[in-house]
Structure 1
Amino acid sequence: MPVPSARRAVGARGHDPARRIALAAAGVLRGGGCPAKVPAVLRQRRRVTDQSGLDARQRLANVTGALGAVPGSGRLLVAGPVVLVDDVMTTGASLAEAARAVRAAGGLVIGAAVVAAPRAHINRN
């Protein structure tokens, strides 16, 4: 499940990278026999400030409560576990907020997949 970007960010980029990554990954998984889906469940509930100049504490405060599940999406969430997908993880604030929103709607988050993260967050084992 992609972590949604703000509409203005998607408009500025011309695409939604997390959604594109999630769709590509689900395609590969389905090709291997895993029934992966990419439901459009999470939505921005309010505007957030651009995170680029914020520290970890400010990022968390900025996104807390910003995401929610679309009405009626609970039936999609109980169909199976959720892996959150994002393009970049800096502090994990957006992933934490997405996980909170999924859990609040009745889903089970079992992990996250990101393309890029600071060296401090990379598991070297």
Structure 2
Amino acid sequence: MSTALLDLVLPPRCAGCDAPGALVCPRCAAELHGRPARRMPVPAPPGLPECWSATVYTSVVRRAIIAYKERGRTALAHPLAGALALTVAAATGDRPVTLVPVPSARPALRRRGHDPVSRLTELAAGYLRAAGWPTTVAKVLVQRRRVADQAGLSSLQRAENLALAFRVTAARNGSEPSLWGGAGPIVLVDDIVTTGATLAEAARALREAGVAVPLAATIAATRRKGESYDRYGG
């Protein structure tokens, strides 16, 4: 039986701490939503947009994201997207905004059976529109070649692995005119920022297509070894 179906027929347990009674308990929800702030990796790769995240990548946040992405607990998209929407709002104010999700690799999509970042982006956009923010989603980035799993790679290895990995599918006269037509700032969307290599490569592909990319938003920012939570505003 799928995890998503079990979530419907069995009493829920918190994805962050495994306590019974809620998909995400109030304590873990507070940690997940955190304090949206500008959190940049150090060192930042060239071309990385200004990165904002809801929180740091704590054990609670890690368990919730992995449960959503890898273990079929797709109902977690709603609280995770809520954290993402708060982050976009903090980064952009009340301006119109266009959200561009970072694409997942095709093997990962087949393995997971869903597109986690795209779903989070759509839900976050819906929350922002409901709150009065004019928000558009433009799914214009695709992978142009296969890349290796990023887990365990150094900053340099991640950058090399992702070099020229993305391209834009829509031209200026194509299906996504909002990218070039006054829809407010472009905000790249991903679930986590670690070294910034993925977001920097996505920004490069958009700039190559003539699109300025000032901002990126994620649910969490990975804390580097030896760095305190205060540095990340958490």
Q: TM-score, normalised by structure 1?
A: 0.90
CA–CA distance in structure 2, aligned partners of residues 115 and 34 of structure 1: 19
The question of 1:52 aligning with 2:161 is answered: no
Gaps of 5+ in 2: 1-99
Question: 1:49 deviation in Å?
Answer: 0.8
How big is each residue's C-alpha offset from its partner over 1:49-92, in whole Å with a ceiling of 9 and x where there is no partner? 11112111000011010000004257331123210110121111
The question of 1:124 aligning with 2:223 is answered: no
Number of residue-to-residue matches in the alignment: 125
- 73-82 vs 108-117, greater mean Cα deviation: 73-82
Query: Residue 215 of structure 2 is aligned with which of 93, 106, 111?
Result: 111
CA–CA distance in structure 2, aligned partners of residues 124 and 113 of structure 1: 15
How big is each residue's C-alpha offset from its partner over 1:6-53, in whole Å with a ceiling of 9 and x where there is no partner? 011111111111111111111011112222111110010111111112
- Correspondence for 2:200: 96
- Correspondence for 2:177: 75
The question of 1:33 aligning with 2:135 is answered: no
CA–CA distance in structure 2, aligned partners of residues 75 and 39 of structure 1: 9
CA–CA distance in structure 2, aligned partners of residues 123 and 86 of structure 1: 18
- Correspondence for 2:113: 14
Question: 1:110 deviation in Å?
Answer: 2.2
Q: Provide the alpha-carbon RMSD of the alignment.
A: 1.9
Identity among equivalent pairs (%) = 50
Higher CA-based Rg: 2
Tell me the SS of whatever aligns to 1:114.
strand
Query: Residue 85 of structure 1 is aligned with which of 177, 189, 196?
Result: 189
Gaps of 5+ in 1: none
Code of the residue aligned with 1:50 in structure 2: it is D
Code of the residue aligned with 2:202 in structure 1: it is A
